[in-house]
A = this chain, B = another copy of it.
C-alpha cells in the first residue's frame, strides 16, 4: 500500500468555555461531522481550546504590574499587566525590542509572549489574556484517556500552537502537548542506503504533524481547531512534548 498521511478538519466544535468536557465535545463533533475514529489516529486540537476548557482565561483588570514589568512594557510597547503575566509564566527573557518579547516559558518553550494570546478569546474586550494550559502533556493524556474510553479506539492526542521562528517568516504549528504517540523518532545508530551511519537521526514527528494540522485549521476558519491526522505509524508510547525542549546547556541562542 502506498504510504500516506491524511489530515481531516472536523467542523462543529462549539465555542468552548471553562469546565466544558472537551473530550465529549471532541467525540461528538467527530461523530456529527460523519467521521469515524480509527486505531492509530492522532487527534490534533488547538491549544486555545484546551486553555479555554481549563480556565486559563484571565482578566487583566486584577493584575498589578511590578516595576520590572512596567519597564519591560515600556521597552516593548505592551500592556504592563500583560507583561506581568508573561513574566509570571516565564523563566527567562530571551530577546526584547519594540513590539517583541521572546521568553522561555516555564514549560521550556521559547516563544513570543509566553504563548499568551489575545485573539479569538472573548467578545468585545481587549482586557483578557489566555495562558497556555498548566501542563499540556497532562492535558493531552487526560483527553486521550477519556476519548479512548468513549470510543474504544487506541488514539494519540496532540495539542498544537502557532509559533514564530528566528530566521523564517510566517507562523507554523508546533506541538506543545502530546500523548499516545511517538514525538521524537530516533534513528540514531541507523545507516543510510549505502550503509553509512546516519548523522541526522532524530526526527521530530510531533512538530511535523502539528504543522500540517495547524495549516488546515488556519486554512479553514478560526472556528475549526480540531483535526484528525491519519497514517502516522502507530507506536503506543509515552513520549511527551516536553521531550522536544533542547537542553539549556545545548542552547546556543540564549
A residues whose Cβ falls under 8 Å from a Cβ of B:
2-11, 33-35, 95, 97, 100, 102, 109-110, 118-120, 122-124, 126, 162, 164-174, 183-185, 192-194, 196, 198-200, 202-205, 207-209, 211-212, 214-216, 218-224, 232-233, 243-246, 251-253
Say yes or no: A192-B246 contact (C-beta < 8 A), given A209-B212, A253-B167.
no
Complex CA gap A169/B5 in Å reads: 22
Say yes or no: A120-B9 contact (C-beta < 8 A), given A204-B172, A219-B233, A245-B168.
no
Smallest CB separation, A159 vs chain B (Å): 15
Q: Is the CB of B208 within 8 A of A169?
A: no
Q: Is the CB of B208 within 8 A of A172?
A: yes
Say yes or no: A208-B199 contact (C-beta < 8 A), given A2-B8, A8-B4.
no
- With A4-B216, A170-B204, A211-B211 given, can you name 14 additional A-B contacts, CB distance below 8 Å? A2-B8, A2-B33, A5-B6, A6-B6, A165-B165, A167-B245, A169-B202, A169-B243, A170-B244, A171-B200, A171-B202, A173-B208, A208-B215, A209-B215
Complex CA gap A196/B127 in Å reads: 12
Residues of B within 8 A of A170 (CB): 183-185, 202-205, 207, 244
Residues of B within 8 A of A123 (CB): 194
Nearest CB in chain B to that of A34: its residue: B2
The answer, among B10, B211, B233, for a CB contact under 8 Å with A212, is B211
Q: Is the CB of A122 within 8 A of B204?
A: no
Smallest CB separation, A212 vs chain B (Å): 4
